[in-house]
Amino acid sequence: MPTLSERSLAVFPAGSSGEYNLPPDLVTVLVRGEGAAVWNAAGRRFLDFTMGWGSVLLGHAHPAVVEAVRRRAGLGSNFAYVTEPALELAEELVRAVACAERVRFCASGTEATSYAVRLARAYTGRPKVLKFEGAYHGGNDIGTVSLFPSRLLDFPEGEPTSAGLTPGAVADILVAPYNDLRTTKAIVEQHRHVLAAIIVEPLHRCTSPRPGFLQGLRELTEELGLLLIFDETVTGFRLA
């Protein structure tokens, strides 16, 4: 009888349901989680550094979350319209986030950044967006350009990190060095008439912004009539 790992390798690419793959002999299938720990089918305990890619803010199987899910599950599964809990959460977000006026819930960070970029292009009527080298904004075009550059390129030229990106999609994404306000300003001013927005992770993975960098982006975009998109999928209410 095949093991869970063998079954996983048979149906998932590289035996993984995500983007991080293990060698075949290390593929494992998890069966439960509690707090910051997860266990595989063999009972081996692991410390979970991914935490649902940032969504499991309170840890696995937090009693309050389990009780809330249990309570709501009996009242319906998935609604296409507004529900009372969704309304209450949206109201709380508007109260908690000083700049928030409206809320749109999304199923993933990829979906959220895709909408944000599309809205920026629709609002400004301009096609290009500037991102920072090494920034991950999801599995879409904006997230998979110059994520892991394989060679040195002159900014703002981008490089596709994934196959399947069209030359036009890559050309519409300008790339700048994070924490380098002078270079970013020069790129933005050169492309101001075709640039819709700047998208940035305020905390660039493990790199903190230099004093004045984010404020400089805010002032620059306001001056030139661009939109500034803060992608806080990872930081969110954990750090922000």
Q: Which long-range contacts (CB under 8 A, 24 or more apart) does 177-184 make?
A: 177/132, 177/133, 178/132, 178/133, 178/134, 178/135, 178/204, 178/207, 178/209, 179/204, 179/207, 179/209, 179/210, 179/213, 181/212, 181/213, 181/216, 181/217, 183/155, 184/130, 184/216, 184/217, 184/220
Query: For 144-160, what is the mean pLDDT?
Result: 93
Give the pLDDT band of residue 26 (cuts 50, 70, 90). Answer: confident
Tens-place pLDDT, residues 101-123: 999 999 899 999 999 999 999 99
Cis peptide upstream of residue 202 (ω within 30 degrees of 0): no
Which residues are registered as beta bridge partners of 173?
129
Cα angle 159, 154, 119 (rounded to 5 degrees) comes to 55
Domain count, the chain: 2
Task: List helix spans (H) across 12-144.
Answer: 63-73, 84-96, 109-124
> Is 176 within the bounds of a domain?
yes
> Is 89 within the bounds of a domain?
no
Residue 137 structural domain: 110-239
Same-domain check for residues 196 and 152: yes
> Is 98 within the bounds of a domain?
no
Amino acid identity for residue 235 in this structure: T
Same-domain check for residues 173 and 221: yes
Same-domain check for residues 227 and 124: yes
Give the pLDDT band of residue 240 (cuts 50, 70, 90). Answer: low
Same-domain check for residues 63 and 164: no
pLDDT value for 191: 98
> Is 101 within the bounds of a domain?
no
Give me the chain's average pLDDT, please: 93
d(CA 92, CA 100): 10
Give the pLDDT band of residue 20 (cuts 50, 70, 90). Answer: confident
Same-domain check for residues 37 and 121: no
Any idea what the CATH number is for the domain that residue 7 is in?
A: 3.90.1150.10
Same-domain check for residues 43 and 145: no
Tens-place pLDDT, residues 73-87: 999 988 989 999 999
Tens-place pLDDT, residues 174-206: 999 999 999 999 999 999 999 999 999 999 988
Same-domain check for residues 69 and 169: no
Same-domain check for residues 5 and 62: yes
Any idea what the CATH number is for the domain that residue 199 is in?
A: 3.40.640.10
Query: For 12-40, what is the mean pLDDT?
Result: 89
> Is 92 within the bounds of a domain?
no
